[in-house]
Amino acid sequence: MRLPVQVWTPFFWRSPFQEDHARDLRRAQREWQGEHRVWLDPSAKKVERWTRVDQGDNVHECIIPSETVNYFVIAHVDGEGRVYPNLPLPKEWEGVVSGAYIRWLREEARIYRLKSDHVLMPMPVIKDGRVSIIETAIELRPGAITPDVDFNDGKMEITWRKSGNAEMLAIDHEIEAAQGRARYERRVINGEELLIAVSEENPKLWSFALDLGWDKPFSYMLGEGGGMDVAMHQAYFKRCIEDGDSAKAMKEAETWLSLFTSPGKTSIWHSWFAPMASANAQEALFALESQYNVLAATMEELYRSEQFRELMDRPVDVVIANDWLGYMWWDFYQDLQEKITIRCCQSCGRVIRGGHRDRQFCNRSENPECFRKRNTTTQRKKRTHKS
């Protein structure tokens, strides 16, 4: 069985190359003591922890002094892909996130214009020992303005666009180092007031304030603000699969795993019992009895057991994934190691996973339209052959 994974889902997506974010994340993970949510706040003076009731559930939270503003929801995935606490996943996922990268690769990013240079983010306010969660306006900062990339005699040439011609913002730090940061401004263009990003070094260089996003559930799995960077990872995934070279794909996955994941420790409770119990309480009771000889007829009886509570605190190894993109690279790498079939359908081009090794096409559940068209074509060929 695969190792359990602990996923830190940020409100704001940040590149692993962003050093202040990386330092904050490492600090937060060192301080973590089983909380459901962790806030990063530069104005915080010390680590503070509390429990509050949110939608009828007790939620454990903490705030960490930091360099950047963000917050994380921590999810726990067991060896079979079950998640705790439950994510609002589509019904067809059946509460399992294994293979989520395949579903994501079938999605197309949407390009949209930003309407505001601020976004509302929940932030804790502690006053007289009481905690309130208040929607707070957080200023957005654009990344760099994307260059033109062209190929001339097989060589890649990069040039910066002239004023008014840029189309997309990127957060890639190598581009930012070359061209510098941008700031948001409002300008009237063709009679319409629009939000644009202007280079701090060259005000004549500007771009419409655009970003990329995905539909649910990936819109909240991948966080705010990572559009271009995350889209590039989608292209990396597809390239690995289209090339059909498993050794090359594993090397690519290992590169990103070194940046997006790290080894860690968690409790038996988080590693497998809570994800299993949230999906099927009876199965969790049977598993606990067979593996640890802890007997209980109901979950209520189990929770009263001191033996159970002591067992649940026992540490076990875990993979820590820095957001769901990190989890998807890890999941892809596990599939490659287990030699699970991953390729593109020869009919429609969609990515397919599983089945026999020489499988070439979508099945009915993966793409009903592709399956129907191929079935119609096959039947037509059979009738033609008989006549």
Residue with tokens 């006053």: 127
pLDDT score for 144: 53
pLDDT in tens, 185-197: 998 988 989 888 8
275/95 Cα distance (integer angstroms):
10
Domain assignments of the chain as residue spans, ordered by start: 5-109+216-337, 144-212, 342-386
383 has pLDDT over 60: no
**Burial degree of 194 (CB within 10 A; 0-12, 13-18, 19+):** middle
| Under 8 Å between Cβ of 195 and 207 | no
Beta bridge partners of 146: none
Reading across the β-sheet that carries 192-199, which strands appear in turn? Answer: 182-189, 192-199, 206-208
The encoded tokens of residue 7 equal 């996923």
114/108 Cα distance (integer angstroms):
19
Entry pTM: 0.85
pLDDT in tens, 33-76: 999 999 999 999 999 999 998 877 889 999 999 999 999 999 99
Average pLDDT of 361-372?
A: 84
pLDDT in tens, 4-38: 999 999 999 888 888 899 999 999 999 999 999 99
pLDDT score for 155: 56
| Under 8 Å between Cβ of 233 and 240 | no
Average pLDDT of the chain? 85
How many CB atoms are located within 10 Å of the residue 333 CB?
Answer: 18
Q: Is 129 left (phi over 0), alpha (psi -120 to 50) or beta?
A: left
How many CB atoms are located within 10 Å of the residue 296 CB?
Answer: 16
| Under 8 Å between Cβ of 136 and 169 | no
